[in-house]
Amino acid sequence: MQSFDLIVIGSGPGGYRAAVLASLRGLNVAIAEAGAWGGCCLNRGCVPKKDWHHTARLIANNRHYAERGVLGQLHANLDQVWTHQHEVVEKVRDSYTDYMKRLGISAFQGTASFIDAHTLDIGGTHLSAGHIIIATGSSPYIPQEYQLVPGRILTTDDLFNQPVPAGRKVAIIGSGVIGSEFAFILGQLGCEVMWLARNKPLSNSGFSSPALKVLHTALKQAGISMHERANRVEVREDGVELGFADGSSIKAHWVLLGSGRLPHTAGLYPERAGVTLDETGFVQVNAHLQTAAHHIYAIGDVANPRMTANQALADAAIAVANILQPGSRKQTPAAVPELVYSAVEMGRIGINEDDAEDAGLEAATGFAAFDSNPRALGQDDTAGFVRLIADMDNGDLLGAEVVGAEAGEIIHSIAQQFGRDDALARFAGSFYNHPARSEEIQNAAETLAAKWGLSEQVFGA
């Protein structure tokens, strides 16, 4: 039996990063993967989706090209769009696996099952380790009224695993992040989108009303609207018929389920190791990401209800730090950015005003819109804003939102200062490229100081 300092189960962003960090710190590491190396994010999630989103944005921006002197119309070939993302994924996967080899990480292909608290079976090979990290990710949630049918009713996993089905009439199910992103993406890539959901887009998210208003306006401009969820689903030879409570129905060539995900522990047998799950199937962990068996950690979607690659990457660093120095780091989910890539990019960090009120805090806000930002004007893309939320008593940064183009990059500048007592002062006192969208971080901080009497905390006087 081979023995290691650490075995990581799952090679998604959290598992891969945990293996790399542990190896760089001198641990003898093995990693096990039941499917394609790179996990869901690389093969069926954030990496290919962002590739599609970039193409969708190129098509969406086409409406501004003529006034810029760029003539002609752009049209998407969805089959080629799929091929392009597939090529990108393969390049990234090759880079992943090559780097693991160069670090000397032992890779095992197969489903990992616990034999006991220190021993795993991986496709018939038994391995043992002093520490184990569970990073098995998540699987798509399939609503009861839907049954998966190849080429007709698909999850996003299926959409990226196989070429796009024939027909461009698509029904998208779900109002969360997945539904909100793919309604826009597929709509721009030549599909006739019918978006069906019980709630308004992202209504259960932590984004503010102003942020959601920008999203709803951008979706409307892109020709995307939402309709009630179907209560009858019938797969036919030529497509799928979806019926509604009032007796009406619509027909789609295929249906894409964007109805969320569930933690994946199938075949793991965590109980054999003393690892417990909660009532919803998540592995139970403490603030240090330890399971009930303290030498076993769990990270990412399988243990973190936020279920994002960003959270998995953050969890990986925390788990490895605690393996090397027990109790040295705690998980702080609010410090990790959340992003949405739809008709407009949206990023947030920390808590919103409602959360602040629930915590007994009085929130002060600073707002700076992109509608007069020179960079945004030059890009013909002025939708959105930067919004900072602070504690009115002491000026501590509680949260932030960035809505608009490049939000996914700008929010990181805010995240780097999150948790510092002088975050607002750092925003106001930093030097920025001009013209740049990120300048609105400084403007929002200065506005907050002037509006709420926090000049001393922000300007030092």
pLDDT digits (tens, 9 = 90+) for 423-447: 999 999 999 999 999 999 999 999 9
Closest by Cα among 389, 388, 347, 359 to 207: 347
pLDDT of residue 460: 78
202 & 327 share domain: no
Q: List, for residues 252-290, the tens digit of each pLDDT value.
A: 999 999 999 999 999 999 999 999 999 999 999 999 999
Cβ 22 vs Cβ 29: under 8 Å: yes
pLDDT confidence bin for 457, thresholds 50/70/90 = confident
Domain containing residue 419: CATH number = 3.30.390.30
What are the DSSP E strand ranges found in 218-324? 226-227, 232-236, 239-243, 249-252, 254-257, 261-263, 296-298
pLDDT of residue 425: 93
102 & 200 share domain: no
17 & 135 share domain: yes
* Residue 146 belongs to some domain of the structure: no
214 & 273 share domain: no
pLDDT confidence bin for 453, thresholds 50/70/90 = confident
pLDDT of residue 455: 86
DSSP 163: P
* Residue 28 belongs to some domain of the structure: yes
Where a domain ends, among 315, 334, 353?
334
329 & 355 share domain: no
132 & 12 share domain: yes
pLDDT of residue 291: 98
* Residue 279 belongs to some domain of the structure: yes
* Residue 112 belongs to some domain of the structure: yes
How many structural domains compose the chain?
3
pLDDT of residue 63: 87
Place of tokens 């998604």: 12
19 & 132 share domain: yes
120 & 224 share domain: no
226 & 292 share domain: no
Distances (CA, A) of 344 to 222, 269, 414: 10, 42, 19
What average pLDDT does this structure show over 161-186? 96
* Residue 447 belongs to some domain of the structure: yes
Average pLDDT score over the chain: 95
Which residues form the domain of 240? 153-259
pLDDT confidence bin for 456, thresholds 50/70/90 = confident
Domain containing residue 288: CATH number = 3.50.50.60
pLDDT of residue 356: 93
Instruction: Please give the model's pTM, rounded to 2 decimal places.
Output: 0.95
207 & 356 share domain: no
Where a domain ends, among 283, 302, 334?
334
* Residue 252 belongs to some domain of the structure: yes
Helix axes 177-188, 209-221, angle to 10 degrees: 30
Task: Report H helices in 104-172.
Answer: 156-161
Cβ 295 vs Cβ 302: under 8 Å: no
Residue 400 has pLDDT above 70, yes or no: yes
Cβ 240 vs Cβ 254: under 8 Å: yes
pLDDT confidence bin for 461, thresholds 50/70/90 = low
* Residue 411 belongs to some domain of the structure: yes
Distances (CA, A) of 139 to 176, 260, 393: 16, 9, 43
43 & 135 share domain: yes
What average pLDDT does this structure show over 171-192? 96
110 & 41 share domain: yes
* Residue 145 belongs to some domain of the structure: no
Percent of the chain residues topping a pLDDT of 90: 92
The residue type found at 216 is H
Task: Report H helices in 75-228.
Answer: 78-103, 156-161, 177-188, 209-221
pLDDT of residue 414: 96
Size of the chain in residues = 461
What average pLDDT does this structure show over 4-24? 98
Where a domain ends, among 225, 259, 293?
259
Torsion angle in degrees (nearest 10) through CA of 78, 80, 86, 91: -140
